[in-house]
A and B are shown apart, each in its own frame.
Chain A
Amino acid sequence: MSKVLRAILLLAVVLGVVSNGYAAGKQEKAKTDEPVYIALTAPITGDYAEYGNNFKRSVEMAIDKINASGGVLGRKLAVLVGDSKGDPKESATLAQKWTSDPKIVAQIGDFTSTCCLAAQPIYDQAGMVQLSPTASHTKFAQGSKWSFSIVGTQAGEQPFIADYAYNKLGFRKIAVIHINNDWGVDTARYFTDNFKKLGGTITAIENYFDGEKDFTAILTKLRASNPDALFMAAMYNDGASISNQRAKLGWNLPVVGPSSLYSEQLLKLGGDSVNNLYTVVSFFADDPKPEIRAYVTEFEKRYGLKPNFHAALAYDAMMLLADAMKRAGSFDRDKIREALQATKDFPGLAGSITFTEKGDAIKQYTRVMVKNNKFELFDKR
């Protein structure tokens, strides 16, 4: 009997330590003088943890900044962070939790399109803003009037990249590797469609699932199709792994990819293998613009690392939400949505934001490339 008890206690301790880390953070904030609550859904643990943590860092930084200058409509803001672990089921469960809590006025998140789509019906039914910094799947924003995304869709980004690859870089035959999730499939499809429209050839397409670490088999297969360049619809971590393994296979060729590759991490993890990689950005951390310098410096000071595109988008999302609340003059969920929908030329770090009728942001893109293990502007050459 006592052994059973011990087993239970032990499990409780193990699980307790795990969950306490998050619970503690929440309670601390809930004590301040009646703030206005924003929910943040992000993958704090799991395969996408580093992206989720960047969300958290940026949003907390934005809130501190807003609160330091008096808050919104005279009230302080506070964030409740929920860990979706990159799992659509968790994301939906959190949506249930947020929407049923009357203290919460709006939600920022989630990271992947897949998670956002899974939670969408819940926000839609309950009537709460679902503002994703990064969901770029074309189905997301148009799926509900409550859903907004500020990253821009692949339908907007990929024609620009296809043009970059075909006209600026002169590639004619491209092989495609993409992650097999909503975002990856969408990205690969928009790229291949646009690249073919321009007259290019797609020599082969291969996909992989979340969490895969070994890409040698896929790369060996793609190599046999003999392309001019490789299109890589991947987050920067996978992108670096793919590049490392490509180099090990002795396969050297230029690589093209979406803006999700833009990160210092790509350079750190990929080393020499990521040279000769071409992508586009709407946020460039080395941009001399003062507001970007201020953000990058502050972020580096607080967290000891350089912010990437995803981090900047999360910062924009929080700032935009605060702006919408100010414009709405209210913390009413409905009013916030209306104000958000009416956003026009909001000056974000990752480009100015204007929503289409469907809730997608129209973005401007800048071409960049990796040279000597650094991101450089392509057109300055």
Chain B
Amino acid sequence: MIVQQLINGITQGSIFALLAISFAVIYGVLRLVNFATGATYMMGAFAGWLTVRYISQNIFLAMLAGLCTGWSIGFLIEKVAIKSLRGVARIASLICTIGFSIFMIEIATVIFGAETKAMPSFFNEKAFTLGGATVVWYQLFLIGTAVTILLLLQILIFKTKAGLAIRTVSLDFKTAGLMGINVDRTISLAFSLGGATAGIAGVLGSVYYNIVNPTMGNLQGLKSFSAAVFGGLTSIPGAILGGYLLAIVENFGVQIVSGGYRDIIGFVILVGFLLFRPRGLLGKKTSL
């Protein structure tokens, strides 16, 4: 049972970690919480759903669709909420991301209807049992994919030129500009990357839970935000750690205390860290 809870936690944590990274990449470069992350997750899920429903029952194609959708949404949010509002109080951009979130949920409701849709399972056969815990192949697939994406992002940010640009903008965008880095383009890239990560997470999550609906990203987005704060909003490794830890803590919280307390656990962590250690477990004061 302990093993099962751990596996449940790691699976759920993979989704949290992807979304937490989406928050962290964007917060890193702009010190802005993108509250449209949950809605982007939802839109990614719908893109995946449309793909398997109308094009091909292929999860990889669905993930590609989620990625592209998320990427475009991130790009668009940056153009509207950030670029056109440059120089206005930060709060305007923040509110604008909330507006985007509402807007996307409404659009999805209008286009697809409020009814929950069924997302088919993939690789749903039992892979193995371990200490009484059942693991299906899809869980391994989900965890593996998430870890791969997280590693790729890690490489992108810490080993490439574009990543160096993102890190410098995150540390000091003015100086970065003076060094010849195109700050606008870098911010735009960070938003697209964050969006793409959320979009893929949407597909992975919807296949795991077998459902797609316009509000599926709300709680997911909120919890991942907690996870990101938990690990350190300004640290990519921190966000990953936060995602996994939050899910594992929640799952064991359910086991030890009760299901009714699971959200409370998440939000106590959020408030606790915001109050006493705002930079989270791994966040440095000013680093991505």
Q: Do chains A and B touch in the complex (CB under 8 A)?
A: yes
Residues of A within 8 A of B (CB): 3-4, 6-7, 10-11, 14-15, 17-18, 21, 44-47, 49-50, 52-53, 177, 180, 206-209, 211-214, 216-218, 220-221, 223-224, 237, 240-241, 244-245, 248-251, 265, 268-269, 271, 305
Known: A14-B99, A206-B258, A220-B1. Contact between A211 and B92, CB under 8 A? no
Partner of A50, one of B116, B138, B205: B116
Whether B129 and A250, one on each chain, are in contact in the complex, defined by CB atoms closer than 8 angstroms, is: yes
Cα–Cα, bound, A50→B113 (Å): 8
Whether B96 and A11, one on each chain, are in contact in the complex, defined by CB atoms closer than 8 angstroms, is: yes
Cα–Cα, bound, A4→B88 (Å): 6
Cα–Cα, bound, A4→B100 (Å): 18
Partner of A18, one of B5, B102, B129: B102
Q: Which residue of chain A lies nearest to B102 when distances are taken between CB atoms in the complex?
A: A18
Cα–Cα, bound, A17→B109 (Å): 13
Cα–Cα, bound, A14→B262 (Å): 34
- Interface pairs (27), CB distance under 8 Å: A7-B96, A10-B96, A11-B99, A14-B99, A18-B103, A21-B106, A21-B110, A44-B114, A45-B214, A50-B115, A53-B114, A209-B263, A213-B211, A217-B254, A217-B262, A220-B8, A220-B251, A220-B255, A221-B1, A240-B118, A244-B121, A244-B209, A245-B209, A248-B124, A248-B134, A250-B126, A305-B115
User: How many residues on the B side are at the interface (Cβ–Cβ under 8 A)?
Assistant: 58
Task: Give 6 closest A-B pairs by Cβ, nearest first.
Answer: A49-B114, A250-B134, A217-B254, A216-B8, A217-B251, A14-B99
Cα–Cα, bound, A18→B98 (Å): 13
Q: Do most interface residues of chain B lie in helix, strand or loop, or is the interface mixed?
A: helix
Cα–Cα, bound, A245→B12 (Å): 12
In the complex, how many angstroms separate the beta carbon of B119 from the nearest chain A beta carbon?
A: 9
B260 on interface, CB distance cutoff 8 Å: yes
Cα–Cα, bound, A17→B105 (Å): 12
Whether A269 and B210, one on each chain, are in contact in the complex, defined by CB atoms closer than 8 angstroms, is: yes
Interface residues in B152-180 by Cβ distance below 8 A to A read: none
Q: Which residues of B contact A249 (CB under 8 A)?
A: 4, 134
Known: A207-B259, A216-B8, A216-B251. Contact between A45 and B96, CB under 8 A? no
Residues of B within 8 A of A (CB): 1, 4-5, 8-9, 11-12, 80, 84-88, 92, 95-96, 99-100, 102-103, 105-106, 109-110, 113-118, 121, 124, 126, 129, 134, 136, 138-139, 205, 209-211, 213-216, 218-220, 250-251, 254-255, 258-260, 262-263
Whether A217 and B215, one on each chain, are in contact in the complex, defined by CB atoms closer than 8 angstroms, is: no
Whether B9 and A217, one on each chain, are in contact in the complex, defined by CB atoms closer than 8 angstroms, is: yes
Known: A53-B113, A211-B218. Contact between A17 and B106, CB under 8 A? yes
Q: Which residues of B contact A206 (CB under 8 A)?
A: 254, 258-260
Q: Which residue of chain B lies nearest to A212 when distances are taken between CB atoms in the complex?
A: B219
Cα–Cα, bound, A213→B224 (Å): 13
Whether B255 and A221, one on each chain, are in contact in the complex, defined by CB atoms closer than 8 angstroms, is: yes
Q: Which residues of B contact A180 (CB under 8 A)?
A: 260
Known: A45-B105, A213-B219. Contact between A10 and B80, CB under 8 A? yes
